[in-house]
């Protein structure tokens, strides 16, 4: 609703898919590498914020939810090996709900503000 033509909608949807699904985890690992490249000894477990960013990615939280509740598929090693308290099925369901609801709300707000 926020975009003017159907081609822009398709391009935005494809770009969002590529950005979120394919580059989410690699972007986080690159950011971690840039921020912590001066460490003398590499840590065994990633920082908590790295695990959180990895977990709130739509692909990781969906995989975790399927793996934990239905025992289908596998989860990334960063999430599976973590002892973080926020890695639960309820948080994964909440994250997926936010990934579903927030874009609709943003589109609605942009639609209401546009001058038709």
- Could you tell me the pTM of the whole model? 0.68
Full domain range(s) for residue 17: 6-113
State residue 11's pLDDT score. Answer: 86
Asked whether residue 92 is domain-assigned, the answer is: yes
Asked whether residue 1 is domain-assigned, the answer is: no
| Structural contact between residues 42 and 74, judged by C-beta atoms closer than 8 angstroms | no
Residue numbers in the chain where pLDDT is lower than 70 = 1-3, 38-45, 76-82, 115-116
* Domains: count for the chain: 1
Give SS3 for 36: coil
Asked whether residue 102 is domain-assigned, the answer is: yes
State residue 101's pLDDT score. Answer: 94
Q: Which of 102, 98, 97, 103 is nearest to 15 (CA)?
A: 103
State residue 43's pLDDT score. Answer: 61
Total residue count of the chain as it appears in this document: 116
């Amino acid at each position: 609703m926020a975009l003017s033509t159907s081609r822009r909608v398709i391009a935005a949807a494809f770009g969002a898919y590529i950005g979120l699904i394919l580059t989410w985890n690699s972007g986080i690992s690159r950011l971690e590498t840039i921020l912590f490249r001066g460490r003398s000894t590499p840590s065994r477990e990633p920082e908590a914020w790295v695990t959180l960013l990895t977990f709130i990615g739509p692909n990781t939280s969906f995989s975790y939810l399927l793996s934990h509740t239905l025992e289908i598929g596998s989860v990334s090693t960063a999430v599976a090996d973590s002892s973080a308290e926020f890695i639960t099925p309820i948080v994964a369901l909440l994250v997926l709900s936010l990934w579903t609801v927030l874009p609709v709300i943003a589109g609605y707000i942009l639609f209401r503000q546009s001058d038709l």
